[in-house]
Amino acid sequence: MVGDVWAALETAEFAHIVGLSLAVSLSATAFAAVVGLPCGAALAICRFPGRRLLILLANAFLGLPPVVVGLALYLLLSRSGPLGVLALLFTPGAMVIAQALLATPIITALTHRAIEEPWQEYGGALRVDGATRLRSIRMLLAIARRSAVTAVLAGFGRTISEVGAVLIVGGNIAGYTRIMTTAIVLKTSEGDLGLALGFGLVLIGISIAVSASAFALWAR
């Protein structure tokens, strides 16, 4: 049985599944980080009306249910829905949007938490220096970069392991929108439990590899 699983893992089809998983989740994480890192930092250092509400929402959406995000996005992207003209439903693009929506609150909330303390410590000095808000955000993110990397990795963890949303908006189409998690669901339903487990181990390995490289590069 191990031999069969090994043979299945060496096919071009499987390489496509792994590649698409990484492409979709890394893109979604990148979008979420580009939005979430500055927004999280801004929530920590800027004072404006509605700030507390945004912090509350970011924290509440840490537990955003993927199937609900998938369903809402499905209704929006459906050809008979408001964004149907984009023709994004059942494409990798829709999967990136769904995962980015799930990861953004995670990265925002964790960044906010990570920046609060250095802002209290260095905020006065930065202000005396005459640093602008934008410069302060950059400085503080650099100071708290380990926590920022952890925030981004938490976002990536959400995207790479998620199945509910991508199944609904991606459709698990063979060779087009099938990724690791949806392939595991499919193989399980086909009663091919050994291969499903093999896919699962590869998925965990990828997750570990991405985390390890991120820490090696930025969090030393």
List residues near other proteins by CB under 8 A. Answer: 23, 26-27, 30-31, 33-34, 78-81, 84, 89-93, 96, 138, 141-142, 145, 148-149, 152, 171-174, 176-177, 186, 188-193, 217-218
Which tokens sit at 214?
A: 């991120």
- Closer Cβ to other proteins, 60 or 218, answer by number: 218
Q: How far is the CB of 90 from other proteins (least distance, A)?
A: 6
175/136 Cα distance (integer angstroms): 45
- Closer Cβ to other proteins, 15 or 174, answer by number: 174
Give the amino acid at 129: D
- Closer Cβ to other proteins, 50 or 191, answer by number: 191
Q: How far is the CB of 62 from other proteins (least distance, A)?
A: 21
- Dump the DSSP string for 85-115: GG--TTSHHHHHHHHHHHHHHHHHHHHHHHH
Q: How far is the CB of 93 from other proteins (least distance, A)?
A: 6
- Closer Cβ to other proteins, 34 or 46, answer by number: 34
- Closer Cβ to other proteins, 105 or 170, answer by number: 170
Which tokens sit at 35?
A: 């939005």
- CA-closest candidate to residue 42, choices 129, 131, 134, 180: 134
Q: How far is the CB of 26 from other proteins (least distance, A)?
A: 5
Which tokens sit at 208?
A: 């570990």
132's torsion region: left (phi>0), alpha (psi -120 to 50) or beta?
beta
For 179, the 3-state DSSP assignment is coil
Q: How far is the CB of 4 from other proteins (least distance, A)?
A: 10
55/205 Cα distance (integer angstroms): 33
